[in-house]
Structure 1
């Protein structure tokens, strides 16, 4: 035992606190996409899954990771000189010219709105020297974010046999990216004017058609190649909730996405499991002025459950048996994990609600002597 308490946790399985609530699944939508996922952006809870871990070509949804690294590694007002290599990249482009100069911010708008492949290479060369170096950073970041079914070979999604991702991984990347205010600003922009050659201007219209007709849509990125088919990573916010949808190789990417968002917003309800600072239980304290310390939730924890479906919550609690004074306030002593229909959907740390000072040495000696009398 050390000062923070027993290293062997006690595992408590609670199935009675939130049970016997009747829910009803809304009918899961029939979609044309070969792979898809619907995720709650706040918690990462998956609300819909169709082959979500299947490795597939992802086309220009690749650019989500390119934008993440550009925003985290560069400065928006930095001036980038376009190399001949970047200017020569074909397919979807913003028609960059060799030695033309734009800001990193302008290139990001060109990459994310107009899906400029050339803009992505210019960004990569500016940040990492070469596109190959930048791709290494992309793959490293993907693994850090939990994207274990992703491998990047370029910055823009042009076809390559070993360039792939999954619907789930793309949702993870997007969930992370949407925490960046500038990323959110860029991907929800419908139209942007940036500098062009000489005194001309480039007029960029976002390829994501949801932004032009759906008030709840706020991003993110389209992608299209023969191998990948029509893809769409989308974000939507409504009534305080934020969802992320991914559809890959879809015959109707906008229709599929609308169905998924309707399903997520209409068929699920939010259940609060615990609130930040809420009392949870107590844990015993040895050698302290107090024999027990209150245990509270470190943060809010909620889950989304299908409305009116017969089912159960399962609350799994890992909690230290005892602590040894001195105990600091807000020390981690356990964790609560919640499962819905046998799937883990959220967790929160349990922490001490107050400090407990250690008794003076002479008092502890006296107490031990009395125990042996």
Structure 2
């Protein structure tokens, strides 16, 4: 294959950089002691206030618990409820000893009803014990770059060594929202579990009904943590996630921050899912060229002033040998703002192309005569 690393096309697009923070004084006045707004797709920070201060996070802990449940178990897995998951302090879905419950129902009970008992049941099923599950939570946090977070339990009941930061919790929430099943769960207003007794789980998160485009995520409260809230909303294909910690006016803080971000930053489309981006040559193929595409819509938040500062670069193999299979990874689309890399996504071939047979080669030979 012949390599070309600079197949560059300039488009009037947008970009951002995750290391650029918005000074909190530019945004609304809020009651939260720490807060952040982050774009889910790109990770760009659109607002920040004291985002690296370590604080307790109450039941927003369960975002990580749910993410690990989805990453490490099937929704249809049957969980036998252990004794230690029965009667856990605080919010509950009233699990019974030796009851058999689907993992899917446990995760809905965890995120919609904030079941502390559900958190313990999930932890025990996946890791064998709460302690081992917390070790898994902490390893996963570090993988996501949440280096100032420490989990001591899967539910968020207070422990002096159980803490996060607004930035870390946004990273965790972003990763969770990129999981389609998690995204569906936290946007669900009512779930009916496949069990007897307490089986109707109504979502406690008022964002779903009070805020335009609201689609998640999780409430949390203890006396030590104060009111903690992770919210998300999607408008025009752009999903933002907001974290407020120790926020007396938690919902209004979140709505004000989302309003600020949606007003200041507009979605700019760089690539549409499965739409043509570039053609590459196919050597010895029944077709001489094939298109390359992105598997996702690439939409980035930018201010009006940033629109002309974006450059995108396609890095691909310019020639492929036939046969070519559809959805073969062929390169990357990289987006830059002021020469700084902001977002990268993989590119793929759009179609199958068979290799020329003897008849095809003979026809080519005749046509060249």
- CA apart distance, 1:258: 0.3
1:304-327: CA deviation from partner (whole Å, max 9, x where unpaired): 212x33674242647479869789
The equivalent residue for 2:29 is 30
1:313 and 2:309 are equivalent in the alignment: yes
- CA apart distance, 1:255: 0.9
The equivalent residue for 1:80 is 80
Asked whether the equivalents of residues 310 and 337 of structure 2 are also in contact (C-alpha less than 8 Å), the reply is yes
| SS class of match (1:250) | coil
| SS class of match (2:36) | strand
Asked whether the equivalents of residues 170 and 243 of structure 2 are also in contact (C-alpha less than 8 Å), the reply is yes
1:230 and 2:227 are equivalent in the alignment: yes
Indicate how the Cα distance of structure 1 residues 32 and 296 shifts in structure 2: closer, same or farther if over 3 A, else same.
same
- CA apart distance, 1:259: 0.9
Indicate how the Cα distance of structure 1 residues 327 and 149 shifts in structure 2: closer, same or farther if over 3 A, else same.
farther
The equivalent residue for 1:265 is 262
**Mapping of residues 1-373 of structure 1, within 5 Å:** 4-5=1-2, 18=12, 28-72=27-71, 73-76=73-76, 78-83=78-83, 85-90=84-89, 92-94=90-92, 96=94, 99=97, 101-104=99-102, 105-191=104-190, 200-201=197-198, 204-214=201-211, 216-275=213-272, 276-280=274-278, 296-299=292-295, 300-306=297-303, 308-309=304-305, 312-315=308-311, 317=313, 319=315, 335-340=332-337, 344-349=341-346
- CA apart distance, 1:61: 0.7
- CA apart distance, 1:242: 2.4
Indicate how the Cα distance of structure 1 residues 66 and 337 shifts in structure 2: closer, same or farther if over 3 A, else same.
same
- CA apart distance, 1:221: 0.6
Indicate how the Cα distance of structure 1 residues 51 and 125 shifts in structure 2: closer, same or farther if over 3 A, else same.
same
Question: How many residues in Structure 1 have an aligned counterpart in Structure 2?
Answer: 342
TM-score (norm 1): 0.72
What is the distance in 2 between the residues matched to 1:351 and 1:106?
A: 36
The equivalent residue for 2:366 is none
What is the distance in 2 between the residues matched to 1:77 and 1:216?
A: 32
1:39-64: CA deviation from partner (whole Å, max 9, x where unpaired): 22333333223333444322211111
| SS class of match (2:246) | strand
Asked whether the equivalents of residues 82 and 96 of structure 1 are also in contact (C-alpha less than 8 Å), the reply is no
| SS class of match (1:278) | coil
What is the distance in 2 between the residues matched to 1:245 and 1:103?
A: 32
Indicate how the Cα distance of structure 1 residues 50 and 341 shifts in structure 2: closer, same or farther if over 3 A, else same.
farther
Aligned alpha-carbon RMSD (Å): 4.2
- CA apart distance, 1:224: 1.6
- CA apart distance, 1:11: 6.5
Indicate how the Cα distance of structure 1 residues 191 and 281 shifts in structure 2: closer, same or farther if over 3 A, else same.
closer
Greater C-alpha radius of gyration: 1
TM-score (norm 2): 0.72
Indicate how the Cα distance of structure 1 residues 98 and 279 shifts in structure 2: closer, same or farther if over 3 A, else same.
closer
Gaps of 5+ in 1: 359-373
What is the distance in 2 between the residues matched to 1:323 and 1:195?
A: 53
Asked whether the equivalents of residues 38 and 246 of structure 1 are also in contact (C-alpha less than 8 Å), the reply is yes
- CA apart distance, 1:125: 1.6
